[in-house]
Structure 1
Amino acid sequence: MTAWDRIAAWSRRNLPTRESMERSRLLRPVAHRVLAPELWRFTRRSVPRGVALGMVAGILFPVAQIAIAALIALPFRANVPVAALVTFITNPFTTPFILFAAYQIGAWLLRANAPAVAQPVAEAATGWLQWLWDAGPPLVLGLLVLTLVAAVFGYALAALGWRLWIARKWRHRHEHRRHGGCH
């Protein structure tokens, strides 16, 4: 099993289903739009859009990320399940690193002399809220920059991955025909 096959299998297991989206209380008012069949098709344009929008929802919004990703997928005609799946880029393991990187980027851009940023990882749950409040402008700017870079990179990587996948399918089909349809 190749790495791509493992990624595809993991994605299939974790992609939200139309039924789970239909049951979501947050999406109920717009369920008819979110569940439109064209938003659930995997195409060369909708998948990279879904990746980029999933990055935006996953990094910028701390709660209701899947619902937000589904909602912002509507006007961009992005693939809803992909957008929802990509929001998992932020989770309890990656969030401290994302916040740390965002703060460092923001502090560097604002040329702010920052206090130790390893503090929120080491402190108890109440300490990180105070740190977020104190971090303010550098953190917000860093999150915006990080989100933009991640969305652009994710879009490009998904578009490239799509191209490589299609090229592999065509190559396999061509070899299959060249060998008389038998393996």
Structure 2
Amino acid sequence: MPPKTWLADTIRKYTPTREEMARNKYLAPIAHRFLTPELWRFTRRSVPRGVALGIFSGFIIPVGQIFLAAFLALPARANVPLSALVTFITNPFTFPFWAVIANRIGAFILKFDRDMAGAAEEEMASGRWAWLIELFAGAGVTVLVTVFGFIVLAIVGAAIGYVTSSFAWRFIVAHKRKKRLAQMATRTDLGLGASER
């Protein structure tokens, strides 16, 4: 079996169908919105929107980003499954890498010294944000700077994802069209050559 088919079959096997989502008791109140066919089609407008929302959701919150991406896809008319899939840019394996990158970006933009953040971190750790402090402490980074870095990554990453996927979509469509036209020209040439004999 070719790798492309194997990958597509594996994705289809583990992706819930629209019917399964309609039967889900938690999605039942809003299933009619999620299951509209326009949100499941791959079009030149829905794909870049889905990629942008997936990247934004993946960076903006560390937990529950799939649900955020799916809910944001509704008013934006973006591709729901693609926006949910792209959120996996941040996962438990890649999170430490992205946390360090976000910290460096935040520190660069804010020109923030590590010693300055200590008092604010202590105040946040004593309140309702303690879970967030513990989440970021595992990566060994300053929380406030890193959160700002993730916000920057979310906005810039979404913009880059939108533009890149839009150009990739146009390139793929143009390549397929060029290939199809070449095949049609070959068929026409073969047809004319046979009729002249």
Interval containing the TM-score (normalised by the shorter chain): 0.7 to 0.9
Q: Which secondary structure state, in structure 1, belongs to the residue aligned with residue 41 of structure 2?
A: coil
AA aligned opposite 1:42: F
Asked whether the equivalents of residues 103 and 141 of structure 2 are also in contact (C-alpha less than 8 Å), the reply is: no
Match of 1:53 in 2: 53
Task: State the shift of 1:20 in Å.
Answer: 4.8
Question: Cα deviations across residues 119-157 of structure 1 (Å, max 9, x unaligned)?
Answer: xxxxxxxx9536279723211210111111111111111
1:8-39 Cα offsets, whole Å, 9 max, x none, are 84894465532454355553332110111111
Say which is worse superposed, 46-55 or 101-110, in terms of deviation: 101-110
2:29 matched to which residue of 1?
29
Identity %: 47
Paired position in structure 2 for 1:151: 158
Relative distance call for 1:135 and 1:28 in structure 2 (3 A) is: farther
Task: Determine the C-alpha separation between the residues in 2 that align with 1:130 and 1:44.
Answer: 37
Partner of 2:137: 131
Provide the secondary structure at the position in 2 that maps to 1:172. helix
**Residue identity in the other structure for 1:31:** A
Cross-structure match for 2:78: 78
Q: Which runs of 4+ in 1 moved over 4 A?
A: 10-16, 23-26
Partners of 1:146 and 1:163 lie apart in 2 by 25
What does residue 42 of structure 1 align with? 42
Q: What are the residue-to-residue correspondences of 1:6-25 with 2, within 5 Å?
A: 9=8, 12-13=11-12, 17-22=17-22
User: 2:177 corresponds to which residue?
Assistant: 170
Other structure's SS at 1:159 match: helix
Q: Cα RMSD (Å) of the superposition? A: 3.0
> Could you tell me which amino acid in structure 2 is paired with residue 149 of structure 1?
V
Q: Is the 8 A contact 1:46 1:79 kept in 2?
A: yes
Unmatched 5+ residue regions in structure 2? 116-132, 191-197
Residue type of the partner of 2:111?
A: R
Q: Is the alpha carbon distance of 1:80 and 1:17 closer, same or farther for their aligned partners in structure 2, counting shifts above 3 Å?
A: same
Write out aligned runs for 1:80-95 (5 A): 80-95=80-95
Q: Which amino acid aligns with 1:143?
A: F
Structure 1 unaligned regions, length at least 5: 116-126
Q: How many residues align?
A: 168
Q: Distance in 2 between matches of 1:147 and 1:36?
A: 27
Distance 1:77 1:92, change over 3 A: same
SS class of match (1:43): coil
Of residues 63-72 and 170-179 in structure 1, the stretch that sits farther from structure 2 once superposed is: 63-72
Higher radius of gyration, 1 or 2:
2
